[in-house]
Amino acid sequence: MAINHHFQGGNGIGNTNEKKLYEDLIIEGLKIYGHDVYYLPRTLVNQDLILGEDSLSKFDDSYLIEMYVETTEGLAGEQELINKFGLEIREETTFMLSKRRWNDAVDSYHTMIKEGRPNEGDIIYYPLLNKFFEISFVEDQEPFFQLGNLPVYKLRARTWEYSSERLNTGVTDIDSAEDAFSLDQLAHQFMLEDGTGALQFPKGNIAQRRNEAGDVRFNSQLGVFEGFSTGTVTFGGIFSDDQQTSVQVNPVNNHLDFSADGSLVGTINIAQVEMPGLQTDDILIDGKKITTNVSNSDLELTPNGTGAVNIIGNTINLSSLSSGIIKNDSTGALTISATDQGYHKIGGTFGVRIPSGDNSDRDAGDSVPNQIGDTRFNRTNGGFLETWDGNVWQVSAGGGGETLSQAEMEDLILEFSLALG
């Protein structure tokens, strides 16, 4: 046998361990002497089956992988040419990469147009030269069956000529080439007639705005569409010129969000309005407080018709009132009523002050007649507590003892006159 049977099993076919060792040495050499490049698989969008091209193809993914550049003395090809169209640069080179590394780094994550190998038409971005190369031919049998194995690809590539392909890989240096290479002044593409594509608007961050009247673009930094007239106009809501103050629909929960100076200040949902504070005319609602923001102004809670203002709770705290006054401005009664078997209790240890005055203050006038049960402190003759029974004021308590009506007093005087002559 002519070949060494310790390394090959016969007919030029190496054993598995020798093949793996050979591939490991190649991968190690590529990592030492190679360069990091990005492999960009082409995605077809609307292929012309007659001409075999796709003017709307795009590159949405990029894969970092090491490759060895075989043209060590510089780029090959015809280099700079002058033709009837002007200066043309034709540069070519050959990239070598490990088949195993390509399968692990690219083929395992991406569905290729032709599965199982690099594709002609795919792009290689070479960061060191900041150049793009298009694969024109994939050589997979060089070197030819060493140990019965084909461990590498050799990618013949030439300078890529951009033709309106979309670059959206997420790598800034790659994606920015679309703006640099594009000859489309409007930077748009669209499907005609019965196409199923979409109108593609220019996109970029805030710093990349052109700010010319009529501009329409997608702000990739803020995630909104915007236009420009005399200032920036943002679509999809109501925005200030600097977009720090806005009213817009939340795409996650369909709430209406209100923002001011870059901060969320309120939300409207199906159940409620959520805001840290609300001012309407002279009234401010903030947290647990309802106040007036005009000095010494009144706060009125007025029901409609026969409705009532219901205050529900175990305790009504009036400690915050500076004067401690609950005022009734009408001619009607201020009624404190109980429901069911509830009763009224006045706590404390100091006392309760009720209306007071002399006899002349008893009658409020015909417009507001005395009511049965009216109780007051009469300051006449030392003072006493009296209650109106519907006819006369009866002494309830105090220094005056029992009181006599006018008729009873006249009868008593007559009796004393007759008895005493």
Q: Distance between CA 66 and CA 153 in Å, rounded? A: 12
Residue 50 confidence class, pLDDT cut points 50, 70, 90: confident
pLDDT in tens, 283-336: 888 777 888 878 777 777 888 888 877 777 666 666 555 566 676 666 666 777
Q: In the chain, where are the structural domains located?
A: 16-181, 353-421
Q: Is residue 117 within 8 Å of residue 101, measured between CB atoms?
A: no
- The yes-or-no verdict on residue 194 having pLDDT over 70 is no
Q: Is residue 214 within 8 Å of residue 228, measured between CB atoms?
A: yes
Q: Residue 360 to residues 356, 357, 387: CA-CA distances in angstroms?
A: 11, 8, 15
Share of the chain above pLDDT 70, in %: 82
pLDDT at 31: 93
pLDDT in tens, 172-191: 899 888 877 766 555 545 55
- The yes-or-no verdict on residue 32 having pLDDT over 90 is yes
pLDDT at 398: 61
pLDDT in tens, 368-413: 778 888 888 888 866 778 888 888 888 877 655 556 677 888 888 8
- The yes-or-no verdict on residue 11 having pLDDT over 60 is no
Q: Is residue 378 within 8 Å of residue 359, measured between CB atoms?
A: yes
Tokens of 204: 């970029």
pTM (2 decimals)? 0.44
DSSP string, 62-84: -EEEEEEES-TTS-EEEEEEEET
pLDDT in tens, 143-164: 887 777 888 999 999 998 888 7
Tokens of 390: 């519907």
Tokens of 117: 């190998």
